[in-house]
Structure 1
């Protein structure tokens, strides 16, 4: 099966991208652009767990999500668009059973749920929960800012950068949300993402505003307590450092840092940073594929790529594309 890589971006006043750009990926890991689809600021992409369908968060003041299908060549077709109920949606996730799409509305400070049809199209919004509160940072935490929605077994955990909280809900069979637990993080953390460590009760939170990596323990479904906090970089912390994305693979964890403009490698067993890899200006999302890291270097106007090494710096490869924010590798079918 051929490998495809879909890249989302910022468009219009937010950036100089055009929509979703499609690349083919060779066995050597090189990328070649094979097509593009104009779309308004598709800043986050997620694929359906079993169908050739992906969803794009249109990060605009109106707030929308677009469903798209793709074929073996990487050509995209729009299936439909729905309003998210909040401004600037910045994260999407699909429940493992493929029944529901979760959407975090950043500026809107809300969490939305959509039902999905058997073909993967968006049917209707089944829930919209509004967060409230604030944190100590007057510029970034003046209100609730939901930044991620993480599905678990019958639960959803929403990471709120504005309130320094993880708010968890029970997801009902009809797509409703019922409050389950609220977990507080250190003031000023500005949590952006939460990733569970498989096979354990541990999870990791990236603190965008504090420049930290927070290890938490899930003490009961959807409830988290802080275990430890460490800098998100290997080198001495720098200002500013807006932490962006987190990925786990094997015994390692990788975190992208904007400001230092690097991807930092951590040893999972002790959550200790072991190396910083320069990766281009303003690294946002990144993806790990067959030992290669592909980084959406937004201000570089390129996807940068490097080979994962035991430690130290690797040579960067550049694949131009306007204001990239997200990298989604898939196998064509």
Structure 2
């Protein structure tokens, strides 16, 4: 099975990238650059669940989302774009049925919903809700900052992770794409929640505490409502090291979390949420993807994708694939 890897980045004043870069991935896990589509700061990418379509969050002050089709060769074609209704969109998700695109506007402090056509094209914005509030970290929590929008497995509930207010605000998503408030869950002050990932088959989920340098385990007590179970340091590194925790992925009975500052991906055992290894992975590890036993990291400050085997337990020397200011790694398998 052939595989492509699409890489988003920061451009212009925000970084050294040029747009979305396409790599091919060999059976041995090596990457080779094959194409680049110029675009303004496509910092987060997501694939449509059934169509050969990608969506890019253009993280700019004006705020746009772009839909793109892709071919087996890795070529991308723009299908259209839409204003997100808020500044600096930083996260996208598609509902499991492929009907709606969710967008978190970071600086705008808002959550947007777009309806999608049967082919995956963006039709219209169906909802925009704005958050308000603040937190104790004055330079980062002066206002609401929505960092992630998470659909439930059924696609009927959307949970918005707000770094600025230390909250998870959940909404009921209607069949027409509107949002109705459902629940508000508070996290420890100063957590700075960045991401939320549910553990399949359980009522547990994990939250990235970007500002506190923590991994927070929460329990979903009812749809969209979460309570804190425990909190643990996000890395084995010394706690005094500045750390902006970024991205997490679940893989079987393991969880992997990237730490900017210690510049490592930390492996956790899920049963007791205990960190077991730190793997150096390049400077500024923002996003990463796990593919066939390998971890591919967007090392933003090294202008490279770095790669290492998951079985390395901190002992592997990462492989480097140059690309400007990478922020996101999206593997796509082709038949």
TM-score range, shorter chain: over 0.9
Please list, as runs of the form range in 1=range in 2, the aligned pairs for 1:1-333 lying within 5 A after superposition: 1-152=1-152, 153=154, 154-309=156-311, 311-333=313-335
- Which TM-score applies when normalising by structure 2? 0.99
Deviations 1:282-327 (A, max 9, x none): 0000000000000000000000000011623212100000000000
- Give the Cα–Cα distance (whole angstroms) in 2 for the partners of residues 23 and 135 of structure 1: 40
SS of structure 1 residue aligned to 2:311: coil
SS of structure 2 residue aligned to 1:309: helix
Q: Which runs of 5+ in 1 are unaligned?
A: none
306-315 vs 86-95, which moves further: 306-315
- Which TM-score applies when normalising by structure 1? 0.99
Deviations 1:104-144 (A, max 9, x none): 00000000000000110100000000000000011000000
- Give the Cα–Cα distance (whole angstroms) in 2 for the partners of residues 77 and 205 of structure 1: 35
Contact 1:10 1:323 in 2 (8 A): yes
- Give the Cα–Cα distance (whole angstroms) in 1 for the partners of residues 55 and 176 of structure 2: 20
How far did residue 99 of structure 1 move?
Answer: 0.0
- Give the Cα–Cα distance (whole angstroms) in 2 for the partners of residues 243 and 311 of structure 1: 19
SS of structure 1 residue aligned to 2:164: coil
Contact 1:71 1:332 in 2 (8 A): no
Contact 1:307 1:315 in 2 (8 A): no
Contact 2:114 2:122 in 1 (8 A): yes
- Give the Cα–Cα distance (whole angstroms) in 2 for the partners of residues 311 and 241 of structure 1: 20
Contact 1:301 1:322 in 2 (8 A): yes
Q: Tell me how large the CA RMSD over aligned residues is.
A: 0.7
Contact 2:304 2:322 in 1 (8 A): yes
SS of structure 2 residue aligned to 1:34: strand
- Give the Cα–Cα distance (whole angstroms) in 2 for the partners of residues 274 and 310 of structure 1: 12
Equivalent residue pairs, number:
333
- Give the Cα–Cα distance (whole angstroms) in 1 for the partners of residues 187 and 134 of structure 2: 13
- Give the Cα–Cα distance (whole angstroms) in 2 for the partners of residues 324 and 237 of structure 1: 26
Q: Which runs of 5+ in 2 are unaligned?
A: none
Contact 2:203 2:219 in 1 (8 A): yes
